[in-house]
Chains A and B, each alone.
Chain A
């Protein structure tokens, strides 16, 4: 396929065209190399260590085969030519292409990488969403009818949770929106480590597919937390759970390194620490959480994997089962804030613009983000109240209740901004208000869960399921949709239709609340988690919850399809800054194929003063 170097099209260099060495389509090459990598390492290892059954694919060989596959995949899509060979001093033969093809290969352009992240992460959302629909379908009856054995149901639960958490919730607003917006927001043409960033995105599809195809190895029944010692005696599919999550976490770790360095070291002149945009603050805080806690859980998963395949009895009855749980939640609770802090940042980003009012109490918003980050490492054990002995519970209960204070600052800031504002009710602001409502319910139900005595009743019931879906879907997914509608003109140069978008927003909001508010009730009525078979008295309500859940699923599909349609076919936007926002991303070049800034701007003022129409940078409106 013929390709042209990127900067030639932009006219930056004016050098003659240098075609890339003719090669196979990178994604296809990646798949083939992955297959070769798997076969090579799997064959080698299963010959050296045949395992008790002498099967071609055994627990150990599949781990090495998987490593070969992932390395083959990442090398195949471009890392071999663009990263590995140059690292050994060979001349670089890799040119980035233009047009649609560049989304299907290794790239160093942060906008391309971000789009790849959004698509990969969105695909994860769809896959995990289908799993959720299957679960709800099964739960319409109180006995097994859709699945033939409980393993299948439990495995669906595990796939749903794992892909949602590690490829959507952790990734979409950080790897996707973060990679797209942060370099623009800090006035840079690229991120700090573009080659690393280009590499990281390709771990996401690998991770999603690994988890999605885990049933190939055998059913696993632990759900997304992989609790020991069950995981050690569980089906072999759990091996792909560890490996898939490992790949997804590796991707998020690279993103975190890149984003921190971008925010700290790539800021435009004049963009002082006092002026860093709120979303960039959220990304900074989230990335620090990622940098500290992701390696922690990766190591814990390696231990659990070795516990399974060697086996080492770390977490069995003769070891310490609770240690795994502690290690998991030590990451697991910061993870919740990794998911939600970007949403809080997005509220504070969108609302001043839509309400034409100066951001209220900006410093308190930042203090809130930072204190959430600090406290999030002190609350993990509230996921284990019935697991711990009673005397250890109270300190964690204390910090759990205290962490609501800095989280509340985000509300304080946004409410203060909205007060006596001139709020334009458009899809983004509507979705932010909805997100605030949902997250409020998630937070207030957390009060019940933080109380050990009440927790002993509602732990492991659908009350908890309702609670965390309110925080994660209600907080992150709604804010994610708000951000997508808000930034559509920036991403695509096209504008959505207000009626169709608001229709979608109301649809999601109503279906979401109708579904998950009932989770609280059915949980209190005695519906416990991880059961495809349950007492008959809960059947009627489960049936009706499922109906609303299908409506919610359709609502998500409607919004995703509509956003994609606008991205490709929507009405062209007249102004490059339709919301009249003051943050730098809206001053960047409207053409996503080109550099963000022809000339790096110098920031003169903060971004959140909406008392007038002045610009934060020297700006010639005719340009």
Chain B
């Protein structure tokens, strides 16, 4: 049904500022669930690929310290993002802004940490472990890139529309997807560094 309060906030076109109904929330959560399902498929494929090509071999050239550091930074960033989410539940825009900004810095740090061995040519692209590592870690870094843009977008939106924003679905959704990114790296860490 079309919103009647003027063309500029036609909900079909404008990011939702109005309060959400239960039905809206159901639909958005459903869509998000499907989206996370699709995003996990490539990861599953790569996990399978690793066991097909290299079995359980772990290269001694992999930087164990950097891997665990990235994991810790990401988990902390996830907790901070969850704090932003809690702030959104209370409608505390200032806290959302601080926490999302901290999340972005932490996320960027993890992005760099994961990116180190993807780009510094210490992994041999001709070895099976190396090529699998490059693609798997590269995929997580790609996901993180998208997530950073998403958090940045949400943060800008909260900042610019602070007064008129009546729902914080964006923050909730981004938190969920951010945790998806954290879990993605957890899976990749266990798979590429440990097992």
Q: Do chains A and B touch in the complex (CB under 8 A)?
A: yes
Partner-B contacts on A (CB < 8 A): 5, 7-8, 12-13, 15, 18, 82, 86-92, 94-96, 108, 189-190, 192-195, 253, 257, 260-261, 264-266, 291-292, 294-296, 298-300, 302-303, 306, 310-314, 319-320, 323, 327, 595, 600
Q: Which of A195, A257, A323 contacts B53 (CB 8 A)?
A: A323
Could you pull out 20 A-B pairs where Cβ atoms are within 8 angstroms? Answer: A12-B4, A13-B2, A15-B6, A88-B152, A89-B156, A89-B157, A89-B160, A89-B161, A92-B8, A108-B12, A189-B2, A192-B27, A261-B27, A266-B27, A295-B38, A295-B41, A298-B42, A312-B126, A313-B126, A314-B49
Residues in A whose Cβ lies below 8 Å from that of B27: 192, 261, 265-266
Q: Which residues of B contact A306 (CB under 8 A)?
A: 131, 134-135
A261 touches B30 (CB 8 A): yes
A265 CB, min distance to chain B CBs, angstroms: 4
Instruction: For B156, give the chain A residue with the smallest CB separation.
Output: A88
**Given that A88-B153, A299-B46, A303-B135 are known contacts, is A257 also in contact with B35, CB under 8 Å in the complex?**
yes
Contact between A295 and B42 (Cβ–Cβ < 8 Å)? yes
Contact of B12 among A194, A302, A311 (CB under 8 A): A194
Known contacts A265-B23, A319-B53, A595-B2, A313 near B131 by CB under 8 Å: yes
Q: A86-B14, A88-B160, A299-B45 are in contact. List 10 more A-B contacts (CB 8 A).
A: A13-B6, A82-B13, A86-B15, A89-B156, A89-B157, A108-B12, A261-B34, A265-B27, A296-B41, A306-B134
Q: Which residue of B lies closest to A196 (CB)?
A: B31
Given A15-B7, A294-B38, also A87-B15 (CB < 8 A): yes
> Is B160 in contact with A18, judged by CB distance below 8 angstroms?
no
How far in angstroms is the closest Cβ of chain B from A597? 9
Q: Is B194 engaged at the interface, CB distance under 8 Å to the other chain?
A: no
Indicate whether B92 reaches chain A with its CB closer than 8 angstroms.
no
Chain B hits for A90, CB < 8 A: 160
Question: B1 in the interface, Cβ–Cβ < 8 Å?
Answer: yes
Q: Write the nearest CB–CB distance from B40 to chain A, whole angstroms.
A: 8
B4 and A257 contacting across the interface, CB-CB below 8 Å: no
Could you tell me if B157 and A265 are in contact, using CB atoms closer than 8 angstroms? no
| Residues A18 and B7 in contact, CB atoms below 8 Å apart | yes
Q: Which residues of B contact A303 (CB under 8 A)?
A: 49, 135
Residues of B at under 8 Å CB distance from A? 1-2, 4, 6-8, 10, 12-15, 23, 26-27, 30-31, 34-35, 37-39, 41-42, 45-46, 49, 52-53, 125-126, 128, 131, 134-135, 139, 152-153, 156-161
A320 touches B53 (CB 8 A): yes
Write out the residue numbers on chain B whose beta carbons fall within 8 Å of the beta carbon of A310: 125
Chain B residues within an 8 Å CB radius of A94: 13
Q: Given that A261-B30, A314-B131 are contacting pairs, would A291 and B38 also be in contact in the complex, using a CB cutoff of 8 Å? A: yes
A357 to chain B, nearest CB (A): 35
Kindly list chain A residues whose C-beta atoms are within 8 Å of the C-beta of B13: 82, 86, 92, 94, 96, 108, 195
Residues of A near B153 (CB, < 8 A) are 87-88
Question: Bound state CA distance, A159 and B102, in angstroms?
Answer: 48
* Residue pair B131, A87 in contact (C-beta under 8 Å): no
In angstroms, Cα B49 to Cα A306, docked, is: 14
Q: Is the CB of B38 within 8 A of A253?
A: yes
Q: Could you tell me the distance between the alpha carbons of A266 and B27 in the complex, rounded to whole angstroms? A: 8
- Minimum CB–CB distance for A497 against chain B, Å: 37
CA–CA, A312 and B134, complex, Å: 9
Shortest beta-carbon distance from A364 to chain B in Å: 27
Chain A residues whose CB sits within 8 angstroms of the CB of B131 once the complex forms: 306, 312-314
Given contact pairs A13-B4, A189-B1, A299-B46, A7 touches B53 in the complex (Cβ within 8 A): no
Whole-angstrom CA separation of A313 from B134 in the bound complex: 12
On whether A190 and B52 interact (CB within 8 A), knowing A295-B38, A295-B41, A313-B126, the answer reads no
| In the complex with contacts A13-B4, A296-B41, A314-B53, A319-B15 CB distance below 8 A | no
CA distance A97 to B23 in the complex (A): 29
B10 pairs with A260, CB closer than 8 A: no
Contact B31 A261 (CB under 8 A): yes
Question: Would you give the shortest CB distance from B181 to chain A, in whole angstroms?
Answer: 16
A264 / chain B contacts, CB cutoff of 8 Å: 30
Closest B residue by C-beta to A264: B30
* Max chain B Cβ within 10 angstroms of own Cβ: one of A89, A291, A302, A306: A89
Residue of B with least CB distance to A192: B27
Nearest B-chain residue to A314, judged by Cβ: B131
Chain A residue at minimal CB-CB distance from B25: A265
User: Which residue of B has the minimal Cβ distance to A8?
Assistant: B7
Task: Report the minimum CB–CB distance from B136 to chain A (whole Å).
Answer: 10
Is there contact, CB below 8 Å, between B53 and A5?
no
**Chain B residue nearest in CB terms to A327:** B45
Q: Return chain B residues, CB-CB under 8 Å to A195.
A: 12-13
B113 to chain A, nearest CB (A): 22
A7 to chain B, nearest CB (A): 6
The answer to whether A190 touches B135, judged by C-beta atoms less than 8 angstroms apart, is no
Give complex CA distance A291, B31 in Å. 11
Contact in complex: A89, B41 (CB < 8 Å)? no
